[in-house]
Amino acid sequence: MRKPIIAGNWKMHKTIAEAVDLVREMRRGLNAVETVESVVCPPYIALPAVADALSGTRVGVGAQNMFWAEQGAYTGEIAPGMLEGWCQYVILGHSERRQYFGETDEGVNKKAHVAFAHSLTPIICVGEDLAQNEAGETDKIVRGQVTGALVGLDAAQVSSLVIAYEPIWAIGTGRNAEPADANRVIAVSIRGAVAELYGETVAQAVRIQYGGSTNDKNIAGFMNMPDIDGALVGGASLKAESFVGMVTATARVRG
Ligand code: 13P
């Protein structure tokens, strides 16, 4: 059975002090839930303080990105080795990275390989934009992103990573995908692509989240779907009440 995973992507929000306050507010409620994995992904600069505040709890920590080189003249970038020890997860290929910072499937793939070399589990983001959705291209786009991100990874690595299906038109818009539609894309286009590449056992092992305007009110609808294994949460992860509410609601539905 795939353990549900609810991850909060804080994006470019929270100073170090605010980040520590937020996890102090959340940690007891998150730690009380055993059947759902919870992860917070603060900005880089807050990672050590957040990791310290969460030490001794079952709450995981993730980075929002990293570069693929081990070190070097890459002004402003963060190397995988710098993250090691502070977090267990790293979000790769978020649509905002693709849109504003030129992230490509090839770059995501390079980063995924390096993540595993540094004991970091990638959360690989895929998803179509509104025009692609309306043109009926969702399956093609998402399959292409999944295939591109996984090149050269072995079956054990793919089984252990997380994929987040985040339709761009649903991110930060208050317009979430219908749970049944998200489930279909996840089952057919994402799990289906993994099955074609790696076989059914790997496809059944990989955890696939939905992301895009999820909150404590609508999460149960997604978690009732058989192929949705959790959520990558933006706005609703910035408040303790809503994020803890999402984790406890997931435990009620799936635990
Ligand atoms: P929202 O939950 O704010 O729509 O953001 C989703 C997202 O992009 C998480 O990575």
Q: Which of 233, 237, 242 is the best mutation target for the ligand 1 pocket, counting ligand atoms within 8 Å of the beta carbon and taking the most?
A: 233
- Amino acid 136: pLDDT: 98
5-254 topology per CATH: TIM Barrel (3.20.20)
Considering only CA atoms, which of 141, 143, 128, 124 is closest in space to residue 195?
A: 143
pTM of structure: 0.98
Could you read off the pLDDT of 93-151 as tens digits, one per residue?
999 999 999 999 999 999 999 999 999 999 999 999 999 999 999 999 999 999 999 99
- In the reported structure, the alpha carbon of residue 52 is separated from the centroid of ligand 1 by a whole-number distance in angstroms of 25
Beta carbon of 233 within 6 Å of any ligand 1 atom: yes
Tell me the average pLDDT of the chain: 98
Beta carbon of 166 within 6 Å of any ligand 1 atom: yes
94 catalytic per annotation: yes
Beta carbon of 212 within 6 Å of any ligand 1 atom: yes
* Cβ atoms within 10 Å, residue 174: 9
Beta carbon of 232 within 6 Å of any ligand 1 atom: yes
Could you read off the pLDDT of 46-94 as tens digits, one per residue?
999 999 999 999 999 999 999 999 999 999 999 999 999 999 999 999 9
Ligand 1 atom showing the smallest separation from residue 212 Cα = 4
Q: Which of 6, 125, 126, 214 is the best mutation target for the ligand 1 pocket, counting ligand atoms within 8 Å of the beta carbon and taking the most?
A: 214
Beta carbon of 234 within 6 Å of any ligand 1 atom: yes
Q: Which residues contact 158 (CB under 8 A, 6 or more apart)?
A: 150, 194, 197, 198, 202, 206
